[in-house]
Amino acid sequence: MTDQALPAVPSACRICGAATEEFLDLGRQPLSDAFPEEPPVAEFFYDLRVASCTACAMVQLVEEVPRERMFHEDYPYYSSGSAVMREHFARTAAEFLEGELDREDAFAVEIGCNDGVMLRQIGRAGVRHLGFEPSRKVADVARGHGVRVRGDFFEEKTAADVRRTEGPANVIYAANTLCHIPYMESVFRGVDALLAEDGVFVFEDPYFGDVVEKTSFDQIYDEHFYLFTARSVRAMAERFGFELVDVRRLPVHGGEIRYTLARAGSRRPAPAVDELLDQEETRRLTAPDVLRRFAGDVSAIRDDLLALLTRLRDEGRTVVAYGATAKSATVANYCGLGPDLVSFVCDTTPAKQGRLTPGTHIPVRAAEAFADPYPDYALLFAWNHADEIMAKETGFRESGGHWIRYVPGVRVD
């Protein structure tokens, strides 16, 4: 028995209201970060279907999962868990401190601050700050590091309340958060209420251009309601009285863009904005034939990966997975990967260890289990951290082990 999702929303764009066209169906999926205990109880499933707006080109999910189901007190993702991401957020904080926050009585707000990995640096520099984080346990970790946290979702009402009590924010920042939020009008009304007249709204999220180029379909899951492009972000910003004034490519999380928005007419857009818009137009990034080809490539990865793992099982080879990531839920459930094909998943997050993967119920074990003993093959779910993992797991190759990757296609290294 499963708990059913809400009915699918009408096939209209959540940003501009125009018609959307579906181009990808990844089947019934569980919550990507809900790791059940053994034996599993009833799980929540929804239809993971993806559409593109015919007017503003915003790529979005067809069905919305209630936010309280995804971001709750037991939410198991901690931003500080990766050394690469810790370094990334340290650089981000330094850039803000040397730029937009280099002024008297500066104030920084972060939407979805998680365990406070970025705001810690801001706070240590003596700059006023506030993080919005509705997931209690990760918010408590942030508070333990001296970060000021409000345990609410960021929206018009809560942002206006902060403006009344704290004054205007010079920077409003969000990392891997804005794409999670379907109700964008309320968010932008909140930004409008809280942001200083000369302030900036900066957010970074997975870039749909990289998803298409790499066929990284596992970037599509319940928490990623939107997959942004420069074109769709520009249209979204203009709709709510803002302007896209800068873009920057980021190498983290498999390819992201950092977008900088300001009040319309308050800043001159950087040349990088038009450059990226021109690239997207040349690539015809959300053209129907491009999207159909992408969907076909996704199907081919599913077939190839399932065939490879089935063959290895039949040959008596041992296969485990590395990294119980949120994105791996999409891969495992879409491809039908259960414990008959993948013995277990190793992961460094204590909250996931001793549990089962969402939907497919593959056991999750501590990272130490990977070498006890080494398997014949390792399926790299955490492919976006490949360099960090390969540097750490040199003993696996030395033992004769092989990595299985599926981005941008299935291969064995």
Specify whether 38 is located in the same domain as 100.
no
Q: pLDDT by residue (tens digit) across 360-407?
A: 999 999 999 999 999 999 999 999 889 889 999 999 999 999 999 999
- The answer to whether residue 28 sits within a structural domain is yes
The CB density around residue 120, as the number of other CB atoms within 10 Å, is: 22
Looking up residue 128, the CATH number of its domain turns out to be 3.40.50.150
Tens of pLDDT along 161-190?
999 999 999 999 999 999 999 999 999 999
Regarding whether 378 and 328 lie in a shared domain, the answer is yes
Same domain, 88 and 229: yes
Residue in 351, 271, 343 with CA at minimum distance from that of residue 77: 351
Q: Residue 56 has which token pair?
A: 């503003």
pTM of the model as a whole:
0.92
User: Average pLDDT in the 27-40 region?
Assistant: 90
- 106 and 218: one domain? yes
Domain carrying residue 11: 3-61
Mean pLDDT score, 284-301 = 97
Q: Has residue 66 been placed in a domain?
A: no
Query: Do 187 and 54 fall within a single domain?
Result: no
Question: Both 253 and 207 in a single domain?
Answer: yes
Based on the fold, state whether residues 56 and 85 are members of the same structural domain. no
In whole angstroms, what is the distance from residue 76 CA to residue 154 CA?
20
Measured distance CA(133)–CA(4) in Å, rounded: 26
Domain count, the chain: 3
Cα 399 from chain centroid? 33
The confidence band for 77, taking pLDDT boundaries of 50, 70 and 90, is low
Domain identity same for 147 and 215: yes
Per-chain mean pLDDT for the chain: 94
pLDDT at 222: 93
160: in domain = yes
In a domain? residue 277: no
Q: Is residue 235 part of a domain?
A: yes
Chain centroid to CA 63: 17
**71 in a structural domain:** no
Domain boundary (61, 95, 110) is at 61
Same domain, 27 and 104: no
Strand order in the sheet with 319-322: 364-366, 345-347, 319-322, 377-380, 402-405, 411-412
